[in-house]
Structure 1
Amino acid sequence: MTHAIRRATELALDETTVTALRAALKTTADEVVEAIIDEVPSYANALSGRMGGTIRRAVRTALGHYLDLAGGIGGGGDAGDAAYELGRGEVRDGRSMDALLSAYRVGARVAWRGLAAGAVSAGLPAATVAKFAELTFAYIDELSAASAAGHADELAARGLAHERHLEQLARELLANAGTEVLLAAAQRAGWTPPGSLTAVLLPAAQTRPAYRLLDPSTLVLDDLPDATGVLLVPDADRSHLLRQLAGRTAVVGPARPWVRASASYARAVRARSLPTDIRDTEEHLAELVLSADVDAYADLRTRALAPLRTLPAGTARKLEETLRAWLLHHGRRDDVAAALFVHPQTVRYRMGQLRDLFPDLTSPQRILELTLAVGLPRS
């Protein structure tokens, strides 16, 4: 407000003129409010009743303050502070900055019309009236700028608070918080719970760019350990999601009810820890199951494949590969030979060796254990 205050004092209107102009303020304020109601749709119902009275008083106060400046009195801070708070309040009332600026434009025009009539009646010279007009609009422009700053600051504060609430909700979901805690967090964040959430793990640097491609209700965190980020995608069409993530280093967990998003996240984390390059966890369920308890799986292999340990390493490796193919192809010799790129007679010979090592090879329990033991190819 410093510039407008300094220039308004240049007018140095006499007390008689200021008194005459002030007498018209109530009528001018009423006309300003009526014009805003007529010309700015967002205020059609907003300025009736108590709110209308509040705005009328605010207009009278702001213009009265300006007349004080023009008459050489007044300090200058109150009107700017009030305009700033007005901008903040418009955010709380759900109105846009465009609506507020439109109201200022209409108000400036109507206010000047009232002030100009008073200035002419008071006998101000034409040059002084012209300067009065220039400084009046400069003053209202600065009020408008103060309101714009308040509007922007309130939006920024609300946006930051909203983002923090969303991030807290995401953290509660990953921590597998209780349903009541999650519902409260969702309400604070203004987030409508979907039917399901799908966790997507990405390098932290890729998380925000990927987020911008997805449903805006997606929850995002990009500050997880190991420079990792996560997206929690609501009600995802899986094939579409995978296409959207093409070209990114993403691991996509399963869809889970939204309160169990931690389960989707946990699976994606585990898939990311495996040596296999997994993108879609649904396509690698066998690897995930067999690697769920590494120690147990190692013990199972040691016990189930113990007979092979009596053989030279090369022979044991070939027999394990043959056993795996035989189990996968249900004993069909030609299919086993094709899978191993060997002659069927070679398969017959190796299977003879395996039957000697595993006399109960065809028993259901032995088949189950061996199928699990050789389920993952050894690197």
Structure 2
Amino acid sequence: MSRVTQRASELALDETTVTAIRAALKTTADEVVQAIIDEVSPYAGALSGSMGGTIRRAVRTALGHYLDLASGNATGGDGGDAAYELGRGEVRDGRSMDALLSAYRVGARVAWRCLAAGAVSAGLPAAEVAKFAELTFAYIDELSAASAAGHADELAARGRAHERHLEHLARDLLAGASPDVLLASAQRAGWQPPVTLTAVLLPAAQARPAYRALDPSTLVLDDLPDATGVLLVPDSDRSHLLRQLTDRTAVVGPARPWTRASASYARAVRARSLSPDIRDTEDHLPELVLSADVDAFADLRARALAPLRTLPVATARRLEETLRAWLLHQGRRDEVAAALFVHPQTVRYRMSQLRELFPDLASPHRVLELTLAVGLRAS
């Protein structure tokens, strides 16, 4: 038995008292609603017009049900169900639970003043008036608890739906969906598109903890294959973002227009495939360019370095290292020697060999092709 039902069973309202109180229900409901409008600011404009009429009828219905309880003609269920739905509706109308509880407190005070006046004028004994008061406030407590439950459940449901919409948007972005699809997905999620997004790859277990330290508009997925997580960070300051991720095993892609976030993600994925030590893809653009088409790079190396294939493996490797250092240091022999830890005369000797193998070494086209060919050290 609920507290309200128990209190109602202890109260004996005669028919005269019930009739007197019921006759004042409309006036009581009007006074309750007006007091809420006057004293609870979130309802100042919400209870006017047709909405005000609807609320007044709902209050009269609740008070009528309360009187049925007090006179032993009803149980407590229906009022609680309506209060639960009221709590859910307050979320949809954008009002907090604090506002609703304030409305209940004001309503309880005004309702009791009106109900007590009717009960006393009908001659209800003082002992029964006290029981009537206990029942009134127990009933209001029960209604407010039901409304709080409805409010919390609606918030939770909306939170889960919002999370699903955000995850769906993140997947659309990674998949490279069309701008129209992305805009619709962003609208469903209530997400304001930024100018750019930067993809960050990191272990799935680190995704949520890292996300909490970033812009709250960051999108996060932590269920990608290979236990990978991804963050899509809006309009980030790159150096600040890298500092925020200092203690994370993260790969940071480039900033891209938000509808092209998939390009940032793809580069981060490819950078991670090149080396587990890469953090900032912007620091490894040459390697990323040269590894973009593995077959083309292999063909380029094979053609450009074909003359070296006529030599013993060890000799070819030494000459390729010398050629790479010579190209990177623009032919400055002492710098080449220092980079290779050899004597400058050794560099001169090796370069004479290379010029024999590559007679057109001074040709800009040949220099470009060889620079690309030796741009990554042979594995």
Q: Give yes or no for the alignment of 1:340 onto 2:346.
A: no
Tell me the distance in 1 between the aligned counterparts of 2:275 and 2:26: 78
* Match in the other structure for 1:5: 5
Tell me the distance in 2 between the aligned counterparts of 1:252 and 1:77: 56
Q: CA-to-partner distance for each residue in 1:146-205, whole Å, 9 max, x for gaps?
A: 111111111111111111111111111111111211111111111122111111111111
Question: Per the alignment, do residues 276 and 323 of structure 1 end up closer, same or farther by CA in structure 2, a change over 3 Å counting?
Answer: farther
Q: Give yes or no for the alignment of 1:266 onto 2:236.
A: no
Percent of pairs with identical residues: 86
Q: Give yes or no for the alignment of 1:66 onto 2:66.
A: yes
Tell me the distance in 2 between the aligned counterparts of 1:3 and 1:127: 19
Q: CA-to-partner distance for each residue in 1:18-51, whole Å, 9 max, x for gaps?
A: 1122122222111111111111111111111111
Q: What SS does the corresponding residue of 2:10 show, helix, strand or coil?
A: coil
Q: Where do 1:252-291 residues align within 5 Å?
A: 252-275=252-275, 277-291=277-291
* Match in the other structure for 1:30: 30
Tell me the distance in 2 between the aligned counterparts of 1:202 and 1:319: 39
Q: Is the 8 A contact 1:167 1:219 kept in 2?
A: yes
Q: Offset at 1:276?
A: 5.5
Question: What runs of 5+ residues in structure 1 fail to find an aligned partner?
Answer: none
What's the TM-score once normalised by structure 2's chain length?
0.96
Q: Is the 8 A contact 1:201 1:250 kept in 2?
A: yes
Q: Offset at 1:335?
A: 1.0
Q: CA-to-partner distance for each residue in 1:84-117, whole Å, 9 max, x for gaps?
A: 1111111111111110111011111111111121
Q: Is the 8 A contact 1:90 1:96 kept in 2?
A: yes
Output the aligned Cα RMSD. 1.5
Question: What runs of 5+ residues in structure 2 fail to find an aligned partner?
Answer: none
Tell me the distance in 1 between the aligned counterparts of 2:128 and 2:283: 81
* Match in the other structure for 1:240: 240
* Match in the other structure for 2:55: 55
Q: Offset at 1:9?
A: 2.4
Q: What SS does the corresponding residue of 2:236 show, helix, strand or coil?
A: coil
Residue type of the alignment partner of 2:84: Y
What's the TM-score once normalised by structure 1's chain length?
0.96
Q: Offset at 1:314?
A: 2.6
Q: What SS does the corresponding residue of 1:9 show, helix, strand or coil?
A: helix
Q: Is the 8 A contact 1:10 1:70 kept in 2?
A: no
Residue type of the alignment partner of 1:324: R
Q: Give yes or no for the alignment of 1:321 onto 2:312.
A: no
Q: Where do 1:360-379 residues align within 5 Å?
A: 360-379=360-379
* Match in the other structure for 2:220: 220
Q: Which runs of 4+ in 1 moved over 4 A?
A: none
Q: Offset at 1:12?
A: 3.0
* Match in the other structure for 1:105: 105
Residue type of the alignment partner of 2:169: L
Q: Is the 8 A contact 2:12 2:128 kept in 1?
A: no
Tell me the distance in 1 between the aligned counterparts of 2:12 and 2:256: 73
